[in-house]
């Protein structure tokens, strides 16, 4: 069944590439409406998360954000299929970069780079955009349950120029990559198991978060560069590079917690500015403090 799924994905990707890129936003709007209004995938969870995270918004505004999120996710899926297996120059036509000078600051240190990412905008294609700025790019990812689909997904991303590091025991591989003056990107807005994360404030709620990025920064003495990519109304993507953050002064629990909280606050500020382009259906606060 998994091989059938891979062939189906390849067929859909080939079909989508027959359409002009400008059609994807309209197709995504229609598919997103179906996902959010007919299938109603996790719609109750989404509205509950919005009510707890954005209490200052009216119920009508939160419904609009939810609807926008479904349109965004549907468009994201279509874009990923459209550029599946493509090289960076294919995507760079639709990409604008803001804050390139901050990356030059990192280059001047003559070392590697640590990138802070979240599930904001089209995070899958953000890696494709990043390969135009720094090569190679190592991304710490979770392994998918279906082996065939996982292999297809990995091969597609690696053809784009990304090097994927399994999240299990990735620290050693990350350190080696940084010593080779490569870039390592970590996503910090996923729920963690209790024993693998620390609790920080995220939208006024305790969220169990990996301390891995802060620990890597402290051990390697490498600054952290927050990056994110937002889809504009015209279908183009704007890749933002924010000023680098100095490594924690030491590896104490207090320093690691403070750095992780700082990274999380940066992601929260970005999400507040672009609430329809974050995955509110993810069970971000599933792990609760004891």
| 34 domain residue, yes or no | yes
Structural domain harbouring 137? 2-277
Query: For residue 283, how far is the Cα from the chain centroid?
Result: 15
Number of structural domains (the chain) is: 1
| 289 domain residue, yes or no | no
pLDDT of residue 1: 46
Of 196, 262, 252, nearest in space to 224 by CA: 262
| 285 domain residue, yes or no | no
pLDDT of residue 146: 66
Indicate the pTM of the whole model.
Answer: 0.93
Query: Which residues are registered as beta bridge partners of 232?
Result: none
Question: Cα separations (Å) of 288 from 2, 28, 91, 183, 217?
Answer: 34, 34, 40, 32, 27
290 residues of the chain, pLDDT tens digit each: 466 777 777 788 888 888 899 999 999 999 999 999 999 999 999 999 999 999 999 999 999 999 999 999 999 999 988 988 677 778 889 999 999 999 888 888 888 999 999 999 999 888 888 888 888 888 888 776 667 666 776 777 777 778 888 877 788 999 999 999 999 999 999 999 988 999 999 999 999 999 999 999 999 999 999 999 999 999 999 999 999 999 999 999 999 999 999 999 999 999 999 999 999 999 999 999 98
pLDDT of residue 210: 95
| 146 domain residue, yes or no | yes
| 286 domain residue, yes or no | no
Query: For residue 60, how far is the Cα from the chain centroid?
Result: 27
Burial of 168 by CB count in 10 Å (0-12 exposed, 13-18 middle, 19+ buried)? exposed
| 42 domain residue, yes or no | yes
pLDDT of residue 170: 85
| 161 domain residue, yes or no | yes
Which pair of structure tokens corresponds to residue 43? 């719609």
pLDDT of residue 34: 97
Name the DSSP class of 110.
Answer: T
- Give residue-wise pLDDT tens across range 23-79: 999 999 999 999 999 999 999 999 999 999 999 999 999 999 999 999 999 999 999
- Give residue-wise pLDDT tens across range 165-180: 887 778 899 999 999 9
Query: For residue 212, how far is the Cα from the chain centroid?
Result: 16
DSSP codes of every residue in 193-255: -GGG-EEEEETTEEEEE--HHHHHHHHHT--EEEEEEEE-TTS-EEEEEPPPBPPPSS-SHHH
| 13 domain residue, yes or no | yes
């Amino acid at each position: 069944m998994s091989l059938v799924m891979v062939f189906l994905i390849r067929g859909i990707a080939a079909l989508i590439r027959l359409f002009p890129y400008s059609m994807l936003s309209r197709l995504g709007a229609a598919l997103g409406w179906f996902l959010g209004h007919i299938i109603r995938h996790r719609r109750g969870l989404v509205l509950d998360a919005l009510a707890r995270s954005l209490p200052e918004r009216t119920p009508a505004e939160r419904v609009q954000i939810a609807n926008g999120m479904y349109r965004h996710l549907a468009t994201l899926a279509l874009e990923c299929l459209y550029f599946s297996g493509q090289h960076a120059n294919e995507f760079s036509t639709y990409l604008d970069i803001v804050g390139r000078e901050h990356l030059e600051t990192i280059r001047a240190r003559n070392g590697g780079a640590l990138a802070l990412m979240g599930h904001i905008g089209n995070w899958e294609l953000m890696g494709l955009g990043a390969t135009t700025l720094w090569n190679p790019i190592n991304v710490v990812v979770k392994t998918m349950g279906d082996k065939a689909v996982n292999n297809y997904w990995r091969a597609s991303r690696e053809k784009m120029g990304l090097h994927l590091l399994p999240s299990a025991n990735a620290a050693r591989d990350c350190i080696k990559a940084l010593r080779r003056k490569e870039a390592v990107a970590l996503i910090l807005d996923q729920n963690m198991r209790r024993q693998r994360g620390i609790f920080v404030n995220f939208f006024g709620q305790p969220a169990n978060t990996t301390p891995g990025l802060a620990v890597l920064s402290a051990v390697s003495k490498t600054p952290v560069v927050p990056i994110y990519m937002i889809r504009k109304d015209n279908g183009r993507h704007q890749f933002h590079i924010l000023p680098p953050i100095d490594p924690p002064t030491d590896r104490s629990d207090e320093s690691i917690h403070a750095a992780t909280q700082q990274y999380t606050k940066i992601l929260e500020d970005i999400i507040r500015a672009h609430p329809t382009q974050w995955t509110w259906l993810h069970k971000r606060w599933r792990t609760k403090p004891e």
